[in-house]
């Protein structure tokens, strides 16, 4: 799984406005099977449209399997929509459905955060877009910003394999009979284009650090530019050191981060790291126009990634995630232009001097939040000293 494959056709999809029509068209064209994984499946305009496509497929004899996260389902999947999906012939399961917020146990944080779909072994979708409408952001009119990709070609093989394996594992742990093998045969997908890419997952067994290592390898070899856009930015010491080292050797490093407050504790905790990064010459742009839900990066106009993994302890240490990494100048250039347009039209830079001169109360709030998150992660037994080391250097 951890290797680049040539011969793919990979298309960039921005927001639900491009993603959902492509996804629904693929489902409507399905002949044999549809596999879908998502953290959130909301009962809104987008969710109902996708649900209707899934049911249409099931009713014409296509095998349709949908796996949703137990926590995401508890928050967004209504009983009415769940009933419509299952009564329509779709096989629906929930990943770790045992959700009890009042019980503080580490395994309850191991969620299915991936957003994947593959249809007939011919086309797949990977990204950060949940099955939820772009406008489903209470109190904010501009649509949420996120990305996904469509994939055709040999890269379909590991995508299909990991989806089948996780489905079989969930059935096994929930004591359900299954016709899906725990060790599925490898799909052989023909070449469909000229792009080279690899598909990586993050889990709690064999692939605990693959996504983070791929990021670090690209950052450490970067020569001209690193452009990262992520909703939640709370990197460990290795990641921070790699970014700082890149800036020190003359690489232009830009972080496009979320300005709007969604989870207050994480928002202030992540800002505790700004001082160290700004002092190293890293540019931080905060996106104000709408909610930033993207998890993408471009390095040196030839390397790019799109997926579900944020750069924070949740994504790198706990959740199941999935990213595609593309080595192709044309794809990287398109994603880079999208991010630069977002910076130009909807972001504001964080001035290093003004940041250093912020009030003591603001500084204290950030470090208190940082401490709370660190203690919480320690109680959950995630992240050793290596993840956090460098905290004192960041306190600027």
Where in the sequence numbering do the catalytic residues fall? Answer: 113, 115, 120, 293, 295, 300
Q: How many whole angstroms separate alpha carbon 14 and alpha carbon 182?
A: 34
Beta strand 5-14 pairing with 147-152: antiparallel
Measured between alpha carbons, how far is 230 from 226 in angstroms, rounded to an integer?
13
Distance CA 68, CA 143 (A): 23
Using DSSP, state whether 127 is helix, strand or coil.
strand
> Of 335, 382, 291, 319, which is closest to residue 115 (Cα–Cα)?
319
Q: Distances from the Cα of 128 to the Cαs of 109, 175, 308, 358, in angstroms?
A: 19, 30, 4, 33
Q: Which residues contact 394 (CB under 8 A, 6 or more apart)?
A: 240, 272, 273, 275, 276, 277
Q: Is the CA virtual torsion 218, 222, 224, 225 positive or negative? A: positive
Question: What span, in angstroms and rounded, lies between the C-alpha atoms of 24 and 30?
Answer: 10
Tokens 């491009």: give the residue: 18
């Amino acid at each position: 799984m951890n290797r680049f494959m040539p011969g793919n056709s990979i298309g960039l999809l921005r927001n639900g406005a491009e993603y959902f029509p492509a996804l629904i068209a693929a489902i409507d064209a399905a002949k044999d099977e549809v596999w879908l994984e998502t953290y959130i499946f909301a009962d809104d305009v987008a969710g109902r449209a996708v649900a209707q496509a899934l049911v249409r497929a099931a009713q014409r004899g296509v095998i349709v399997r949908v796996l949703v996260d137990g926590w995401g389902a508890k928050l967004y999947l209504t009983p009415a929509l769940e009933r419509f999906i299952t009564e329509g012939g779709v096989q629906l399961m929930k990943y770790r459905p045992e959700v009890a917020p009042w019980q503080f146990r580490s395994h309850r944080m191991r969620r299915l955060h991936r957003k994947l779909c593959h249809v007939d072994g011919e086309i797949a979708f990977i990204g950060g877009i949940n099955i939820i409408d772009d406008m489903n952001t209470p109190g904010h009119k501009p649509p949420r910003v996120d990305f996904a990709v469509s994939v055709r070609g040999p890269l379909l093989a590991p995508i299909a394999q990991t989806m089948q394996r996780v489905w079989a594992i969930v059935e096994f742990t929930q004591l359900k009979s299954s016709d899906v093998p725990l060790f599925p045969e490898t799909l052989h997908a023909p070449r469909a284009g000229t792009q080279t890419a690899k598909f990586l997952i993050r889990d709690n067994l064999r692939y605990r650090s693959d996504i983070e290592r791929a990021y670090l390898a690209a950052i450490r070899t970067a020569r001209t530019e690193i452009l990262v856009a992520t909703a939640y930015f709370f990197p460990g010491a290795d990641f921070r050191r790699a970014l700082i080292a890149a800036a020190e050797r003359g690489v232009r490093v830009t972080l496009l981060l979320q300005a709007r407050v969604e989870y207050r504790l994480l928002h202030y905790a992540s800002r505790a790291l700004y001082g160290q990064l700004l002092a190293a010459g890293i540019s931080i742009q905060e996106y104000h126009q709408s909610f930033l839900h993207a998890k993408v990066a471009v390095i040196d106009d030839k390397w790019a990634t799109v997926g579900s993994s944020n750069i924070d302890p949740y994504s790198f240490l706990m959740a199941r995630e999935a990213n595609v990494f593309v080595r192709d100048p044309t794809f990287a250039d398109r994603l880079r232009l999208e991010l630069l347009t977002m910076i130009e039209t909807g972001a504001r830079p964080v001035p290093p001097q003004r940041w250093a001169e912020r009030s003591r109360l603001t500084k204290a709030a950030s470090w208190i939040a940082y401490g709370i998150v660190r203690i919480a992660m320690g109680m959950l037994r995630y992240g050793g000293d290596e993840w956090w080391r460098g905290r004192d250097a960041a306190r600027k």
